[in-house]
Amino acid sequence: MTNNSTEGVTNRSGNEPFASILDRRISRRGLVKAAAVGAPLIALSTSPLAGRIFGGASLSDVAEAAGHGGSSGVGVQSIPHDLDDTINIAPGYASEVLIRWGDPVVPGAPAFDLNNQTKAAAEQQFGFNCDYVAFMPLDPGSVRFGLLGVNHEYTRGGDMFPGYDGENPTAEQVGTEIANHGLSVVRVTRRRNGTWYYHQDSYYNRRIHGETPMVPTGPAAGSAHFQTSADPTGMDIRGMFNNCGGGKTPWGTILTCEENFHQYFGNNDSLEEAAKERNARYGAPGGASWRQWERFESRFDLAQESNEINRHGYVVEIDPYDPHSTPRKHTALGRFKHEAANTTLSDDNRVVVYSGDDQRFDYMYKFVSRNTFNPYNRAANLKLLEEGTLYVAKFDDSGSGEWIPLVPEGPLADWSPADICVFTRQAADLVGATPMDRPEDIEVNPVNRRVYAVMTNNSRRAADATDGPNPRGPNAYGHILEVTENGGDAASTRFTWDIFILCGDPANPDHGTYFAGFDQSELDSIATPDNIAFDRAGNLWVTTDGQPRALEAADATYVIPTAGPERGRLRRFMTGVPGGEVTGPEFTPDDTALFLAIQHPGEGGGLDEPTSTWPDGDFPRPSVIVTRKLDGGRVGS
């Protein structure tokens, strides 16, 4: 994700912060070592999904993993921290670069030329700063042939163009940056020796970018909030920006999330007071944007197009199997800085989507569809995210909480559904949601069905924000919550919660770490968790964003059992490169390959003086890598 450590706090609601609740919860528990085994598994659903691909594993796979003791079988040997300009990985494993920034994607695309980049070329090449990765099998359950969807979150001219002048970008440079956003779809194949490659001439290959036509769905589509001079219908959107996290649907589409969309717009102070305050809640700059795109394209100038900003900040659904399909922005899932959009099914087969709003003191959300999933009617499933109820989380000290519906009643009685979908943060403020420490990835464990929610950090939490011993003021290291929906039903409006991990260095008592009760003398350090994934056995895989600042160590990937005698014991699986954030992570359905993305390698020095020259030794290029076990077995086993 884009680091927003320099941003101010936009949430002025006064709602009780999660800092206070968390501190009281920890104090009451006394951080006593928890039981060494997980809670009993919730019975798996008998829905028609059985045997079909869902979130990277079929339900039959999940049952098999549960029958073999869940997540107690991690066989990874932890590796040390480092700051090397290379990818280091646990013994017995290998990693290879699969695709780099600038590599040709669509058939006929030109080769990358660092010194002669153009918008036209970039619209056909692998974009900049790869983030979320989705593996989509070409055949049900396929583990060798698939499509890889990869987000391109953001750009920085100084990391892309030799001799870049940040005060005076050119129109061609701005156009090239716009084209480097979005998402790439490429066909990938595993060779018989276990290595992978992508096909440069596949029919499925596609580049979606900042100019790609998109259509909105849901309550805000076509509303007055969406209408611009270029699009008076409010139904024709150009592009998506700052796509960070994402998710997959049971019907085989990719959900990609617009996160820090505010940074592309300038001149908020030119608007009337009410509109200015609405945009300020999302962090829109009062004057010129640091990118200065508004100098070249009026749609990014709020003084000229005040509604354009309302058309960004959504979950976008893309069908990778149909390269001619139009991406759809689902307004029913709300507008905020979406980090994730991970799906599961309720007991009655409605689709539930979890998402975090990645900013300090903002909220956790979930969406529950109105209609139910039908594994035999893909056309109907493609409409499931257009109607439903959006909820925001409220936590209490007792370890319980509730999902508050954002609907036009009570504090929101005067709001229309379109208002709620466009100004979701303000709606959540009014219903008393709990401000969190940068909610990022939120995913459901396929074995125990609990929801794991990542809070990356919150450096702006004051030390005196709580009334007891407070290891998290400020919270420089982040933490992960374990949430259990009442009755195991994802559509429940009540839940219980606990702390799974308080990140930091267990050897430093000032960090106040907690690792699901595991003996800290046997643990290593981790900070600033960001993206997560689960293998078939229910082990939690975590990638980090910001460890160089928190621990003076490269960002990395960890594996952590969530059940069994080693619940909470983390192992460092791989380490990244200087300046590079580790993102992804994504497994093939059989866990024999783990895809990871290395975003912004060399960040901090610019292209002219990079802190890294990974992966090729000349200049840094964001890239996707594949990790695999040398013996061909499951990664992590």
274-306 residue pLDDT tens:
999 999 999 999 999 999 999 999 999 999 999
pLDDT of 634: 96
β partners of residue 556: 575
Domain that holds residue 368: 18-259+313-629
Distance CA 150, CA 208 (A): 10
CB atoms closer than 10 angstroms to residue 230: 11
Q: Is 288 within a domain?
A: no
pLDDT of 73: 77
Q: Is 296 within a domain?
A: no
pLDDT tens readout for residues 181-237: 999 999 999 999 999 999 999 999 999 999 999 999 999 999 999 999 999 999 999
Burial status of residue 464 (CB atoms within 10 A of its CB: 0-12, 13-18, 19 or more): exposed
pLDDT tens readout for residues 355-372: 999 988 899 999 999 999
Distance CA 591, CA 580 (A): 25
CA angle, 507 then 513 then 514, to 5°: 120
pLDDT of 23: 58
Distance CA 508, CA 471 (A): 11
Q: Residue 211 sits in a domain of what CATH number?
A: 2.120.10.30
Tokens 């909610």: give the residue.
439
Q: List average pLDDT for each run of 10 residues in the chain, which is 637 residues long.
A: 56 65 56 32 29 37 38 82 96 98 97 98 98 94 93 97 95 98 98 96 98 98 98 98 97 98 97 97 96 97 98 98 98 96 98 94 95 97 98 90 97 98 98 92 96 90 45 81 96 95 92 88 91 97 95 96 94 97 96 97 90 96 98 95
Distance CA 313, CA 335 (A): 5
β partners of residue 369: 388
Q: Is 284 within a domain?
A: no
pLDDT of 510: 86
Kindly state the DSSP code that residue 17 receives in the 8-state scheme. Answer: P
Distance CA 166, CA 120 (A): 22
Kindly state the DSSP code that residue 293 receives in the 8-state scheme. Answer: G
Q: What is the pTM of this model?
A: 0.91
Q: Is 637 within a domain?
A: no
Tally of domains in the chain: 1
Beta strand pairing status for 213-217 and 328-330?
A: parallel
Beta strand pairing status for 350-356 and 364-372?
A: antiparallel
Distance CA 414, CA 273 (A): 20
Sequence-distant (6+) residues with CB within 8 A of 133 are: 148, 149, 150, 151, 583, 584, 585, 586, 595, 596, 597, 624
Q: Is 510 within a domain?
A: yes
**28 backbone φψ class: left, alpha, beta (φ>0; ψ -120 to 50):** alpha
Q: Is 294 within a domain?
A: no
For 326-387, list the strands marked E by DSSP.
328-330, 342-345, 350-356, 360-362, 364-372
Kindly state the DSSP code that residue 472 receives in the 8-state scheme. Answer: T
Q: Is 167 within a domain?
A: yes
Q: Is 280 within a domain?
A: no
